[in-house]
């Protein structure tokens, strides 16, 4: 019963399930589960979002909310087993990638959709030079010769503002600083000029000062190239500066989607409210930090009704019975809360 409800959810502006909608990249009612020895964890339970050229969608959520797994499914790098896609579509230019041949999907990686990862030290191959790993894209994917590929790789290093790019070409990842490594990672993922860039917590492993530099760089490159960008993060501060829209995830579902200003000004879901409330504030110095009480649900045993209900300060009996569908609650915004209307219309 609850499954049917959720599958009918439609995010603002996205086409209904099944038919192409002219979006650049569209995730439609995606479902993924992890089959482990201890049981089946329902990690993604009907996620729908999209991104168009030139816009940045931030996907916000706690660890375990399914934001990275959604990205891995889009890229086709989900570890199978344990991860299995059990339903939904991922459309790129209207074509469902989940139904493509392995070869077709491979060609989209890097050229159509590229991804940067959280920890560049482990994501870069430790035994090859940074230059080799960037030039590899030009050599293998574009068939360029060694010298030409090297030239292009140095240009990429220049574009991500690595000083002395030429001299750095032959360095190994461990010879780079954390920020430099993330820059190199960005250079590598942008080498083939992708239309969509997925950034999976690109600044989490970095110092605060470096975080801002990397975010600025990403925002700048996104603007210049008019890429669609999916920025996965749990950091509300990062989101505010660069995102156009925000999708908030909880327990493998989108619970709220809105324009960045609307979301901060008037969140339409108690979970989003809790997240914004828990940002440390300077004017409340000395007081205890606010948190959302409780823990995210065990994905092997998601509570019936709204998955957030055990932690929700507004929970009513209906929340324990019915899964709230993601419904439009205003121009270009949606919320999956039974009381979304009241939240939006409050003064």
Partner 1 sequence: MGRYLLRRLLQLVPVFIGSTFLIYWLVWSVPGDPFAGKCGERRCPDQYVAYMTEKYHLDQNVFVQYGNYMKNLLQGDFGQTFSQRDIGDIIATAYPNTLKLALVALAIEAVIGLGAGILTGLRRNGFLDNLVLVSTLFLLALPVFVVGFVLQWLLGVQWGIVKPTVSSEMRFSELIVPGFVLGSASVAYIARVARTSIAENRRADYVRTAIAKGLPMRRVVGVHLLRNSLIPVVTLLGTDLGALMGGAIVTEGIFGINGIGREVYRAIVTKESATVVGIVVVLVVVYLLMNLLVDLLYAALDPRIRYE
The contact set with partner 1 (CB under 8 A) reads 75-77, 79, 106-111, 114-115, 117, 119, 122-129, 136-137, 140-141, 172, 174, 188-189, 192
Nearest to 91 by CA among 143, 145, 27, 29: 27
Q: How far is the CB of 188 from partner 1 (least distance, A)?
A: 7
* Cis bond before residue 21 (omega within 30° of 0): no
Beta bridge mates, 253: 250
Nearer to partner 1, 137 or 211 (CB): 137
Q: How far is the CB of 183 from partner 1 (least distance, A)?
A: 15
Q: How far is the CB of 106 from partner 1 (least distance, A)?
A: 5
Angle between helices 178-190 and 146-159 (to 10 degrees): 120
Q: How far is the CB of 84 from partner 1 (least distance, A)?
A: 17
Nearer to partner 1, 132 or 264 (CB): 132
Nearer to partner 1, 121 or 240 (CB): 121
130: tokens are 């940074």
- The answer to whether residues 232 and 68 touch, using CB atoms and an 8 Å cutoff, is yes
Nearer to partner 1, 108 or 344 (CB): 108
Q: How far is the CB of 286 from partner 1 (least distance, A)?
A: 41
Nearer to partner 1, 55 or 119 (CB): 119
Q: How far is the CB of 294 from partner 1 (least distance, A)?
A: 31
Nearer to partner 1, 38 or 103 (CB): 103
Nearer to partner 1, 6 or 71 (CB): 71
| Strand order across the beta sheet in which 25-36 lies | 39-51, 25-36, 83-92, 95-96
Alpha helices in 109-194 (DSSP H): 120-123, 130-136, 142, 146-159, 165-168, 178-190
Nearer to partner 1, 117 or 271 (CB): 117
Q: How far is the CB of 133 from partner 1 (least distance, A)?
A: 8
97: tokens are 């990638």
Give the number of other CB atoms < 10 A from CB of residue 313: 9
- The answer to whether residues 60 and 246 touch, using CB atoms and an 8 Å cutoff, is yes
Range 83-111 burial, b when 16+ CB lie within 10 A, else e: bebebbbbbbeeeebbebeeeebeebbbb
Which H or E run includes 343? helix 340-345
Give the number of other CB atoms < 10 A from CB of residue 263: 27
Q: How far is the CB of 120 from partner 1 (least distance, A)?
A: 9
Q: d(Cα 181, Cα 162) in Å, to the nearest integer?
A: 10
DSSP, collapsed to helix, strand or coil, labels residue 143 as: coil
């Amino acid at each position: 019963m609850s499954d049917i409800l959720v599958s009918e959810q439609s995010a603002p502006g996205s086409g209904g399930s099944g038919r192409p909608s002219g979006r650049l990249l569209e995730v439609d009612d995606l479902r993924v589960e992890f089959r482990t020895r201890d049981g089946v964890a329902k990690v993604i339970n009907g996620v729908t979002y999209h991104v168009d050229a030139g816009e940045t969608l931030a996907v916000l959520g706690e660890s375990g909310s399914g934001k990275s797994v959604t990205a891995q499914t889009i890229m086709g790098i989900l570890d199978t087993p344990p991860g299995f896609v059990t339903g939904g579509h991922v459309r790129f230019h209207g074509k469902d990638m989940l139904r493509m041949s392995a070869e077709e999907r491979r060609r989209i990686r890097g050229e159509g959709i590229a991804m940067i990862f959280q920890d560049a030290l482990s994501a870069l191959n430790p035994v090859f030079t940074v230059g080799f790993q960037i030039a590899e894209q030009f050599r293998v994917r574009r068939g360029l010769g060694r010298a030409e590929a090297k030239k292009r790789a140095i240009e990429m290093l220049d574009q991500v503002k690595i000083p002395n790019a030429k001299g750095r070409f032959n360095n190994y990842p461990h010879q780079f600083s954390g920020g430099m490594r993330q820059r190199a990672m960005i250079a590598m993922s942008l080498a083939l000029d992708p239309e969509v860039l997925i950034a999976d917590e690109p600044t989490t492993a970095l110092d605060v000062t470096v975080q801002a530099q990397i975010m600025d760089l990403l925002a700048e490159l996104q603007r210049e190239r008019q890429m669609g960008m999916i920025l996965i993060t749990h950091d509300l501060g990062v989101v505010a500066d660069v995102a156009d829209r925000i999708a908030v995830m909880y327990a493998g579902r989108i619970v709220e989607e809105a324009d960045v200003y609307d979301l901060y000004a008037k969140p339409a879901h108690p979970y989003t409210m809790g997240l914004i409330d828990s940002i440390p504030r300077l004017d409340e110095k000395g007081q205890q930090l606010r948190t959302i009480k409780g823990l995210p649900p065990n994905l092997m045993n998601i509570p019936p009704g709204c998955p957030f209900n055990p932690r929700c300060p507004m929970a009513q009996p209906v929340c324990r019975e019915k899964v709230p569908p993601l419904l439009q609650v205003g121009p270009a915004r949606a919320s999956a809360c039974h009381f979304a209307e009241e939240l939006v219309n409050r003064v």
